Amino acid sequence: MVVEANSRVEVMEGNQQQVEANILLLGAHDVGKSALTVRFLTRRFIGEYGDIESVYSRVDKIDGQEICFNIWDSQSTQAGSLSDKRLQWADGVILVYSICDRGSFDSVRQQLQQIRRSRKSVPVVIVGNKRDLQHHRGVSSEEGRLLALLERCGFFEVSAAETYHGVLLVFYQLVDLVRETRALRKSSAGVRGIIRSVSAVFGKKRAE
Ligand SMILES: Nc1nc2c(ncn2[C@@H]2O[C@H](COP(=O)(O)OP(=O)(O)OP(=O)(O)O)[C@@H](O)[C@H]2O)c(=O)[nH]1
């Protein structure tokens, strides 16, 4: 059976429900967006990645629920040229910088501001990648954590080159945030509905 929910198609077989989560990866050039995507999809680090911008999918079962991750590994953009189309598509955003590249951290700050202007409540996880290159570190963990705290984002430092599990946690935390946001939206829509009904009844009484 196929049902429409919040303009999203959810596929149901018996009691099983598959939830879709559109995840957009953003960040400056060379920070490891493709490396993180490929790690998550294949568990591998292949070292060099082409320039093909594409959406990839992977289905996982989390807490008994099937989640279809649709991942848009976008080409790096200047802050300011972040297309609205990509942001409107996303249910959640992974903002990537390299811990060795301060400029890429500044780009994350700028992109975050831009995201907040057009999608105020979209969940975001900030990722400091290339954690294996400690000797070249240019951004401290505290700076990354503080930015995430101030902007209410998730935060991880990972190495796409070295570990799979750290990368897995990034995607899983984001999907948790996406599910929480949807649940909140649903319950606040419910409350709005109740308020409308109550005002309709009282409005009527006043008119009588
Ligand atoms: N040492 C190290 N190198 C990494 C890591 N992640 C990615 N790289 C390397 O960084 C370079 C850029 O990685 P990509 O995944 O292509 O970066 P990108 O952000 O997708 O780059 P663009 O698509 O050009 O914006 C490649 O040479 C990767 O091998 C990491 O965790 N550690």
Residues present in the chain in total: 208
pLDDT at 208 over 60: no
Mean per-residue pLDDT, 76-83:
60
Domains in the chain (CATH in brackets) are 3-207 (3.40.50.300)
pLDDT band at 43 (very low <50, low <70, confident <90, very high): very high
Mean per-residue pLDDT, 69-88:
77
Instruction: Find out whether the beta carbon of 50 lies less than 6 Å from any atom of ligand 1.
Output: no
The pLDDT score that the predictor gives to residue 201 is 72
Residue 76 is given by DSSP the state: P
Q: Check residue 126 and give left, alpha or beta (phi > 0: left; psi -120 to 50: alpha).
A: beta
Mean per-residue pLDDT, 93-104:
98
Instruction: Find out whether the beta carbon of 49 lies less than 6 Å from any atom of ligand 1.
Output: yes
Q: What is this model's ipTM?
A: 0.99
Per-residue pLDDT reduced to its tens digit, 131-188:
999 999 999 999 999 999 999 999 999 999 999 999 999 999 999 999 999 998 887 7
Instruction: Find out whether the beta carbon of 134 lies less than 6 Å from any atom of ligand 1.
Output: no
Task: Tell me the best of 31, 41, 54, 158 to mutate to test the pocket of ligand 1, counting ligand atoms within 8 Å of each CB and taking the most.
Answer: 31
| CB-based contact 128:60 (threshold 8 Å) | no
Distance 31 CA to ligand 1 centre (A): 5
